[in-house]
Structure 1
Amino acid sequence: MERPEGERVRVACAVRNRLYVDGVLVGTDLPLEELAEHRADAGALIWVDLLAPSVPDIAALSPLVGGEVELHPLAVEGAISGRQRPRLVRFRDHSLLHTRAVRFDAATDRLDGTDLSIFILPRALITIRGDERFALDPILADWDDNPDLVAYGVGFLLHTVLDAVVDGYFEAIDTLDDQIQSLEDELLLGGGPKNAVQLRSFVLRKAVAHLGRAVLPMNEAFSALLRQGAHVLDGEMVPYYQDVYDHTLRATERIDGLRDTIESILATHLAMQGNSLNEIMKKLTAWAAIIAIPTGVTGYFGQNVPFPGFGESAGFWLSAVLLLGLGFGLWGSFKRRGWL
């Protein structure tokens, strides 16, 4: 639906935008009414970012940047619902890409993420961020550093955003890898609370699982973007998307490696606990055998029948020698075998 000329566009959330005309940056963070004046230009390219918008915010903006394109109601609802599975959803004249930017906090061993929904229109790109933790400045700097690629339109803008998201995957993977390596060192060197390694292994395994749920579906999304007939993909941009797709596949392989490493740490920890338990059982068995010596000797000499030295001091010394001699002899035998 066309917006009456001169009517002010009211959007309650934070908005950033850029306007390119014939591959040249015309303005940044322009009034939305000024963007509306250029939406019908043949060479116009519009980018708008909305921070945690509501349905009315998107509804007010979509006719402005889309012109004759009207965003599908299901797409608008999905863009603001959050926690969507990463995927590409195609509609008649536009697409919606759900993805998730992640970062790993080494101080808390916690993986945090920002939901990112991207409306892909013929001459406009609308990014919707769930929060400010996904920074835009590196993306804007990349656009400024590659002005010659702006001629490829929305495909170039989208590639830069996705490249930043995938780079975030590798940063999280590298940090997780460092944490897992330190966990291995802690396991081998010992020290600290007895269950610290096991508990931290569970925490890191949970972080790796969450990271996998963000990264693995992106392979399918990139396949859909690279498929013939995608709305925005210029032929010249295919190698760029293929490069990011390859990075996503590498990230998937590394996540599988992290998962295997954590499982190996848990298995090693359990094996070491089993070995430690065996050592404890050997020691307990050895001491039980040693304690059985005085029990047997005192029980034998405690019979109500005469025995050598009965009623004499020699009997006491005989029993004492038997207690000490057999006890220390058994202790020495176990010591030589490494049981004590």
Structure 2
Amino acid sequence: MQHVLEETMPSLRGIAFSPATSMEITTASVLRDQLDDADTFVFVELADPSHDQLAELSQALGDPELLRHPAPASGHAAITQVDSHVMLSARRLELDIPTLQLSVSDLRVYVLPRALIIDHDGSFDSTELLRRFAAATKHRDEGVGYLLWILIDELLAEMNTALETLDSELDDVEDSLLAPGATPVPVQTRTYQLRKSTAGLRRCILPLRDGVDALLRREAACISPNLYPLFQGLYDRAVHLAEWADSIRDLVTALSDTQISMEGNRLNVIMKKVTSWAAILAVPAAVTGFYGQNVPFPGANSLGGFWSSAIIMVGGGIALYATFKKKDWL
């Protein structure tokens, strides 16, 4: 198979599959010519297309209103079935490992009886997808349904990789939290970013899981009986990823609660120390205050009075220190 190249129409590229061979698609006219062959099915990628380009491609496919955007993936209607074709809203993601920032972009998928079309904002890297299309020979006779399976499998693989990264980062944050001399601010920042990215990742998984479930339940024409076990496997993977995301989110919440509890305990210890030292310093303050009164008292203006006051201050301080140390207040 030849690699797909962008030529006359920068936003359109694709591959035409036939029993004997496969060839690249770079224009709507080439696409139309390929679809004239009843044994050919195609994959088409639209990178940030204009309205004119969408209209041109829709016309080439024989339906001027065909390529319209389905509901956003964040909504409940992740999949829409119209006549003989299916429109699927999905999300692809990229996780920046140093910052744990999650970049999410919408991906619109149009599944026709003999064409699989994806429409994205230009950030989707289809290199691995095209490589898998080229290597897929076992189920190629199943047509567009198998291309759809590969596409969803790639999206789930991205989500699985992101979850593995977040899970590993969670272990590192736990180790940092329990390390001696750990500073709370970096741990709090990392914990917050973990929670935010996990929640965003979960919002990407759920619509895709529901979309695969809808494909199975509605018995879409693009999925042949031979592909049902493969799509059932996709659904099971999506359910597993959603549960994994829930588990990470719960662990991050528990980690945050643990950190708050540890900070509260540390504050209590500090308050005990401050209170204990204040009580110790209150002894010399009380003694000097007593001996500083302007009335005669035993030992006034004498060496004995000085030593008695000094002994009371030092002895009282030592007694309080020993008492507080024994109670683990210091």
Normalised by the length of structure 2, the TM-score is 0.91
Partner Cα distance (2:26, 2:208) in 1:
32
Say yes or no: does 1:104 pair with 2:104: no
Greater shift in the superposed pair: 285-294 or 225-234: 225-234
CA contact (8 A) 1:11 1:57 kept: no
Aligned partner of 1:263 in structure 2 is 253
- Alignment partner of 1:259: what SS? helix
Partner Cα distance (2:13, 2:109) in 1:
14
The equivalent position to 1:243 in structure 2, one of 214, 233, 239, is 233
Partner Cα distance (1:198, 1:303) in 2:
53
Partner Cα distance (1:228, 1:179) in 2:
39
The equivalent position to 1:253 in structure 2, one of 243, 249, 270, is 243
Say yes or no: does 1:208 pair with 2:205: no
- Alignment partner of 1:43: what SS? coil
The equivalent position to 1:50 in structure 2, one of 19, 22, 46, is 46
Q: Residues 253, 218 of structure 1: CA spacing in aligned structure 2 closer, same or farther, 3 A cutoff?
A: same
Give aligned-pair identity as a percent. Answer: 33
- Alignment partner of 2:139: what SS? helix
Say yes or no: does 1:129 pair with 2:125: no
Partner Cα distance (1:78, 1:55) in 2:
15
Shift of 1:289: 0.8
The equivalent position to 2:210 in structure 1, one of 204, 207, 220, is 220
Q: How does 1:145-156 map to 2 (within 5 A)?
A: 145-156=135-146
Shift of 1:299: 2.0
Partner Cα distance (1:52, 1:30) in 2:
15
Q: How does 1:228-239 map to 2 (within 5 A)?
A: 228-239=218-229
Aligned partner of 2:325 in structure 1 is 335
Shift of 1:70: 4.5
Residues 211-268 of structure 1 deviation map (CA, whole Å, 9 limit, x = unaligned): 1111112221111111244131111111111111110000001001100110011110
CA contact (8 A) 2:205 2:238 kept: yes
The equivalent position to 2:270 in structure 1, one of 249, 258, 280, is 280
Aligned partner of 1:59 in structure 2 is 55
Partner Cα distance (1:332, 1:187) in 2:
32
- Alignment partner of 1:97: what SS? strand
- Alignment partner of 2:88: what SS? strand
- Residue identity in the other structure for 2:52: P
Aligned partner of 1:88 in structure 2 is 79
Aligned partner of 1:26 in structure 2 is 22
Partner Cα distance (1:71, 1:122) in 2:
16
CA contact (8 A) 1:78 1:84 kept: no
Shift of 1:77: 3.9
Residues 128-178 of structure 1 deviation map (CA, whole Å, 9 limit, x = unaligned): 12223x322222222222213111011011110000000101000001111
Q: Residues 101, 200 of structure 1: CA spacing in aligned structure 2 closer, same or farther, 3 A cutoff?
A: same
Partner Cα distance (1:233, 1:11) in 2:
33
Say yes or no: does 1:76 pair with 2:68: yes
Partner Cα distance (1:157, 1:198) in 2:
43
Gaps of 5+ in 1: 1-9
Normalised by the length of structure 1, the TM-score is 0.89
